[in-house]
Amino acid sequence: MNLAPYMAYFKKSFLNRSAYRFDHIMSIFSNCLRMFIFWEIYKALYGGRQEIDGVTMSMVTTNFVLSMGLDAVFYINDYFLPDKIGNGSITTELLRPMSFKGRMIAENMGNAVFNLLFRFAPAFVVACLLIGILPPASPLMLVLFVVSAVLGYGVLWTISFAVQMTAFWLLNVWSMTTIKNVFVNVLSGTMIPLWFMPDWMEGVLKFTPFSSIYFTPIQIYLGQLEPGEIAIKCAIQLLWIGVIYVVGDILWKCGQKKLVVQGG
């Protein structure tokens, strides 16, 4: 498999993001502002207490700083395929001597690396200096956190991929994308740490992929999981990646047979 075309799209995506400097600066400011807002909200909710139900303010702070940081890095264009179907350029894309799905991944990875270096990193440094977060439980946990975070990105990407495939049947995927984003934001622990979810919700989350996106890496970072549990959690992440990708791939193959383009 020739990786050169995909690396070219990776580089193109990275450079395109770097062209809009004002947008880049405002994104850093936005990420910092979101972190400070959540910090003030949880400070008010804790009311000067250091711990609630075994969850310390430091744990909560670390959770929302890391989850928001990962959310900034895990930027995925949910309208990549729908836009190409809408303007008719999908026909040209399907004629290219390369995998369309591979191109999607390459461009998304270019965006992710750019966001990691120039959005998450500056906001993370500011948050560490002004808010403060807990250090990783150990150097090994930091490495495993990175591994799990990469798998979490894979889970999120496959969810977006499967949702985008519905564009072959729907005129507008905005509603599907919005529903997906609501589930991800609420059930992944980005907005509300999953420690505060009711007990019955924990049982429900075991059968969804959402906690595997952000919460699993953060649990590893904080040292809340034993080695055996980490292996199981990472295996679950891999399982979700495989299952959701297969669903998306089936929709992709069926959608190509149904595709009708007018104009373009």
Structure confidence by residue, pLDDT tens digits, 122-144: 888 888 888 888 999 999 999 99
Confirm whether 220 is domain-assigned: yes
Residue pair 212/152 in contact by the 8 Å Cβ criterion: yes
Give a yes or no: residue 264 inside a domain.
Answer: no
State pTM to two decimals: 0.91
CB atoms within 10 A of CB 251: 19
**CA 150, CA 26: separation in Å to the nearest integer?**
26
CA distance linking residue 179 with residue 190, whole number of Å: 16
For residue 254, is it within any domain? Answer: yes
- Nearest to 80, CA basis, from 104, 56, 105: 104
> Do 112 and 197 contact (CB within 8 A), yes or no?
no
DSSP letter at 52 equals E
The pLDDT of residue 10 is 92
CB atoms within 10 A of CB 69: 23
Q: Rounded to whole angstroms, what are the CA distances from 163 to 69, 103, 167, 204, 243?
A: 23, 17, 8, 21, 14
Count of the separate structural domains present in the chain: 1
Nearest residue to 64 via CA among 231, 222, 208: 222
Residue 157 covered by a domain: yes
d(CA 240, CA 159): 9
Q: Rounded to an integer, what distance in angstroms lies between the CA atom of residue 90 and that of residue 203?
A: 41
Cβ neighbours for 154, distance < 8 A, ≥ 6 positions apart: 237, 241
Q: Is residue 102 assigned to a domain?
A: yes
19 or 177, higher pLDDT:
177
Rounded to an integer, what distance in angstroms lies between the CA atom of residue 207 and that of residue 236? 10
Tokens for 51? 């711990």
Give domain status of residue 183, yes or no: yes
For 150-174, write each residue's pLDDT tens digit.
Answer: 999 999 999 999 999 999 998 889 9
Residue 17's identity, in one-letter code, is R
Q: By residue range, what is the domain housing residue 122?
A: 4-258
pLDDT tens-place string over residues 81-123: 999 988 888 888 888 888 899 999 999 999 999 988 888 888 8
Whole-angstrom Cα distance, residue 94 to residue 109?
21
In a domain, 263, yes or no: no
Among 3-17, 158-172, 210-224, the least confident range: 3-17
> Nearest 5°: CA angle at 107, between 186 and 67?
25
φ/ψ of 199, rounded to 5, equals -60, -40
Reduced to 3 states (helix: H, G, I; strand: E, B; else coil), residue 51 is strand
Residue 73 lies in a domain: yes
pLDDT band, residue 264 (cuts 50/70/90): very low
Segment 178-205 mean pLDDT: 87
DSSP per-residue codes, 91-108:
HHHHHSSS-HHHHHHHHH
